[in-house]
């Protein structure tokens, strides 16, 4: 077992089950301490079973929710996020993956790093997360979450410096709400989406203003 996996094991001891529903952090921990150097999205989907949608969306959202510059994070995760969320919109119960996505490999070391950084945030959410308000976690509302994630995944794919972080946070919360069947987290995910879009709007306007000032100064000189 490598050092990163060992650190993760220390951070997250086995916490068992909560009200008969397995915690997301336990499942992520088991995946991230795997011995393989790489894993494919297809093999991950098979391992997760009926919780595949929420958990794979969560795993793909984590790199974008980390406030650190991670090279090519949006390029690696953007298309799978979009594709999975689109299926959620259509009400599919099981994930279908074309071969070029199913065979896409992700380095285990990269996943371990992402999960290691994200675990404190995830553990804090799990302290207040549990299956509740099931009227907001029905397939109909999961479709709504899918529509939101499709839109956010499209924005994540755009080359906007520092724009991924708030969008990734919103997707992470929505994905966790789906996984944990938590209606309160679903509401928080909707609010986080609004905040993320407002932040992105302000960020784009700020960049536009900076470009305009540079052009104006160039013209004046």
* Mean pLDDT value of segment 200-219: 85
Let me know: does 151 contact 201? Beta carbons within 8 Å.
no
pLDDT score of 72 = 62
Which residues have C-beta within 8 Å of that of residue 72, sequence separation ≥ 6? none
Percent of the chain at pLDDT > 90 equals 14
Q: Which two tokens stand for residue 69?
A: 């510059």
Residue 4's pLDDT is 45
pTM of the complete model? 0.73
Q: How far apart are CA 161 and CA 86, in angstroms?
A: 25
- Non-local (6+) Cβ contacts of 159 within 8 A are none
Render pLDDT for 145-173 as a digit per residue (tens, 0 to 9).
999 999 998 888 877 777 788 898 999 89
Other CB atoms within a 10 A radius of the CB of residue 77 amount to 26
pLDDT-derived band of residue 51, with 50, 70 and 90 as boundaries? Answer: low
Among residues 174, 161, 172, the alpha carbon closest in space to that of 200 is found at 161
Task: Find the DSSP H helices in 129-182.
Answer: 139-156, 164-180
- Average pLDDT of the chain to the nearest whole number: 77
pLDDT in tens, 119-137: 787 787 777 778 888 888 8
Residue 20 has pLDDT above 80, yes or no: no
Kindly list the domain boundaries of the chain, sorted by start residue: 3-220
**CA pair distance 116, 7, nearest whole angstrom:** 8
With a cut of 60, say whether residue 16 has pLDDT above it. Answer: no
């Amino acid at each position: 077992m490598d050092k990163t996996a060992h650190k993760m094991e220390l951070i997250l001891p086995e916490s068992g089950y909560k009200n008969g529903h397995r915690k997301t952090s336990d499942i992520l921990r088991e995946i991230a301490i795997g011995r393989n150097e790489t894993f494919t999205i297809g093999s991950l989907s098979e391992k997760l079973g009926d919780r595949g949608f929420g958990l794979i969306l969560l795993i793909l959202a984590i790199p974008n929710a980390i406030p650190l510059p991670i090279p090519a994070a949006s390029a690696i995760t953007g298309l799978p996020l979009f594709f999975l969320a689109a299926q959620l919109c259509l009400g599919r119960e099981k994930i279908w993956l074309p071969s070029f996505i199913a065979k896409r490999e992700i380095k285990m070391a990269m996943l371990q790093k992402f999960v290691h950084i994200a675990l404190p945030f995830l553990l804090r959410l799990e302290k207040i997360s549990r299956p509740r308000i099931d009227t907001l976690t029905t397939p109909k509302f999961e479709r709504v979450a899918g529509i939101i994630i499709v839109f956010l995944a499209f924005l994540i794919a755009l080359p906007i410096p520092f724009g991924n972080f708030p969008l990734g946070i919103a997707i992470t919360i929505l994905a966790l709400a789906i996984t944990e069947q938590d209606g309160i987290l679903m509401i928080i995910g909707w609010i986080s989406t609004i905040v993320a879009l407002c932040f992105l709007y302000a960020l784009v306007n700020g960049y536009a203003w900076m470009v305009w000032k540079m052009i104006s100064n160039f013209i004046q000189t």
